[in-house]
Amino acid sequence: MVLYFYSMHEQGPIGVFDSGYGGLTVLKEIVNKLPQYDYLYMGDNARAPYGTRSFETVYHYTLEAVQWFFKQGCPLVILACNTASAKALRTIQQNDLPKMNGSRRVLGVIRPTTEIIGNYSQTKNVGVLGTKGTVLSNSYPIEMEKFYPGIRVFQQACPMWVPLIENNEHRSKGADFFVEEYIDALLQQSPKIDTILLACTHYPLLIDKIKQFVPASTQVVSQGEIVANSLKDYLQRHAEMEKSCTKNGKLAFYTTDSIDDFDNQAGVFFGKKVNSMHLDLSAQ
């Protein structure tokens, strides 16, 4: 494996990770906001979806990915996957990072989102749509309570949405059934929900359909821009880390599955054509 961006000064691109394509919706917003940096995206498509997998499995897969990003010289890795952020981030930060090169960092998408999402809601009743793994972890209610004490958080797992999106069926009539089903199940939990957070990086692809089944007064929020703003703020507050991030405006994409499939699908998420390279994580 070529150490594509490796530098003697421990400088490198910002790593962005997802189980598959979803993290590209976050990368797109990050690149819009911070185009000067280099980015290395990796989607573990061969092992996606993560949303239905156990804690141990998601942790193990995510740790392998983080180790690969570090080998490529990334000083900072963003887990642009709620499931990985919910199930693996804390253990990696607390147990694994201290044993590795101490200056490298791994950040997730849940904390930056929960810091701000309470401000979107007038009624302080927020709905969260995510994978089964994210919902069962209870990460969103726990974190939101810290930033907005007393806030009411209602969750709904949407296990059919990622397969529909990954198979490019999200615009089909068949998708309507599952969108309506999960939205109804969420809204039945409280008539006061005025904000719905898409807590899975795949779901922005369904946002138009979701809005069809939600009252006009209820806002539907995707987290890409929130995460991008938070990363900008983080780099402003951490000068050493900022210096470690190379700035040539380069992008590289890796997938653990077929590059043809990735390149055909990725543009839908990223908004631009993508040329990926193959990665065999088991050979690392």
- Catalytic amino acids? 81, 200
Size of the residue set binding ligand DGL (CB under 6 A): 17
Residue 97 sits at the vertex; the CA angle it makes with 270 and 53, to the nearest 5 degrees, is: 55
Classify residue 125 by burial, with Cβ atoms within 10 Å: 0-12, 13-18, 19+.
Answer: middle
Cα Dmax for the chain:
57
The residue within the footprint of ligand DGL, chosen from 74, 89, 117, 162 (CB under 6 A), is 162
Cis upstream peptide for 98 (omega within 30°):
no
279 lines the binding site for ligand DGL (CB under 6 A): no
Phi and psi at residue 13, to the nearest 5°: -75, 165
Q: Is 83 in the site for ligand DGL (CB under 6 A)?
A: yes
Nearest to 245 by CA among 76, 119, 42, 26: 76
3-state secondary structure of 150: coil
With contacts defined by CB under 6 A, name the span among 19-27, 186-194, 209-217, 244-252 that binds ligand DGL.
Answer: 19-27
- Span of 15-23, 64-72, 214-222, 256-264 interacting with ligand DGL by CB under 6 A: 15-23
Pick the closer one to ligand DGL by CB: 162 or 186. Answer: 162
CB atoms within 10 A of CB 169: 14
- Determine the interface stretch with ligand DGL among 77-85, 96-104, 179-187, 206-214 (rule: CB under 6 A): 77-85
Each residue 239-278 as x (binds ligand DGL by CB under 6 A) or -, in order, gives ----------------------------------------
Residues that bind ligand DGL (CB under 6 A): 18-20, 22, 48-51, 81-83, 131, 134, 162, 200-202
